[in-house]
Amino acid sequence: MARIVVVTSGKGGVGKTTTSAAIAMGLAKKGHKTAVIDFDVGLRNLDLIMGCERRVVYDFVNVINGEANLNQALIRDKNCNQLYILPASQTRDKDALNLEGVGKVLEELSKDFKYIVCDSPAGIEKGAYLAMYYADDAFVVTNPEVSSVRDSDRMLGILASKSRRAELNMEPIKEYLLLSRYDPERVESGEMLSLEDVQEILSLHLLGVIPESKAVLNASNAGIPVVLDEKSDAGQAYADVVARYLGEKRPLRFIDGKKGFFRKLFGG
């Protein structure tokens, strides 16, 4: 059976789609057959970040409505033959998705795939609820700012109470914290929450810290998941996240600024 992973947060603009693309690509590069689904009906950005927007013929809603089968809608990634993308519809609204239809698609995907990554829309409306309902694992993406952390905390409450696992009294969804757009120097100057602050508020298992990086924007513009940019700090950080999720032990990187480095170096 596939492991279903939702990438979620309470707030928009924290890097969910970037993370979904990077995690899915990272898992596929490790040899695991992976599907990544865009749940953001009406907006649809995942296909742009994956560089396959011109190859979209059928989408998630077409499959749910019986207008196409999964094989027709799934797009094989051009950089990795173990990765497939199921794009969202750009012309429907979020009510086009329903719980039963999503469940059937996930059940069918589970027959062939090891991991299914669900790229959730922001907030707590229907699309986000459907993205997380069937999840086994949740990557809660947050920025080091108060409003983002607070909204993520609210999402944790929904994950714990409204998922299929919660309703059926099963083992809870495994929740992981992924801190994105982290800038150690701004943390030093008090402009951002520290890693310790965020962990204290959310009390989640930390899977990784993604530094603020121009490489993320460059990769998005090029239609390539940033994890493929192995020379960039963001690409390396996402590779570390995938490795940790798969059980490897890797030290945290990119969490100390220049001030922090020299302070440690000279014992200040």
Measured between alpha carbons, how far is 196 from 156 in angstroms, rounded to an integer? 18
- Is residue 112 within 8 Å of 105, Cβ to Cβ? no
The answer to whether residue 119 scores a pLDDT higher than 70 is yes
Q: Which amino acid is at 8?
A: T
What is the full DSSP assignment across 31-46? T--EEEEE--TTT--H
Distance, in Å, from the CA atom of 147 to the CA atom of 53, rounded to the nearest integer, reads 32
What single letter denotes the amino acid at residue 132?
M
**pLDDT (0 to 100) of residue 94:** 67
Q: How far is CA 100 from the centre of its chain?
A: 23
Q: Please give the DSSP secondary-structure letter assigned to residue 117.
A: E
Provide the pLDDT for residue 52.
94
Reported residue count of the chain is 268
Residue 32 has pLDDT above 90, yes or no: yes
Taking each helix axis from N to C end, the angle separating 146-162 and 195-202, rounded to the nearest 10 degrees, works out to 30
Range of lowest pLDDT (39-48, 159-168, 189-198, 244-253): 39-48
Q: Picking from 24-33, 59-68, 92-101, 124-133, which range would have the lowest pLDDT averaged per residue?
A: 92-101
Q: Is 268 exposed, middle or buried (0-12, 13-18, 19+ CB in 10 A)?
A: exposed
Question: Which residue, among 24, 21, 18, 20, has the nearest Cα to 7 in the 3D structure?
Answer: 20
Q: What is the pLDDT of residues 102-118, one digit of tens each?
A: 999 999 999 999 999 99
Do the Cβ atoms of 233 and 181 come closer than 8 Å?
no
Report the distance separating Cα 21 and Cα 36, nearest Å.
Answer: 7
Query: Which secondary-structure segment (H or E) carries 237?
Result: helix 233-245
pLDDT per position as a tens digit, 236-251: 999 999 999 999 999 9
**Averaged over 65-86, what is the pLDDT?**
96
Q: Mean of the pLDDT values across residues 189-206?
A: 92
Q: List, in sequence order, the alpha helices (H) in the chain.
A: 16-29, 46-49, 60-64, 70-73, 99-110, 126-133, 146-162, 164-167, 184-188, 195-202, 214-222, 233-245, 258-266
Which stretch of DSSP H or E encloses residue 61? helix 60-64
User: How many Å apart are CA 228 and CA 26, to the nearest integer?
Assistant: 8
| Closest listed residue to residue 143, CA positions, set 189, 202, 229 | 202
Give the residue from 256, 257, 220, 251 showing the smallest Cα distance to 235.
Answer: 220
User: In angstroms, how far is CA 86 from the centroid of its own chain?
Assistant: 15
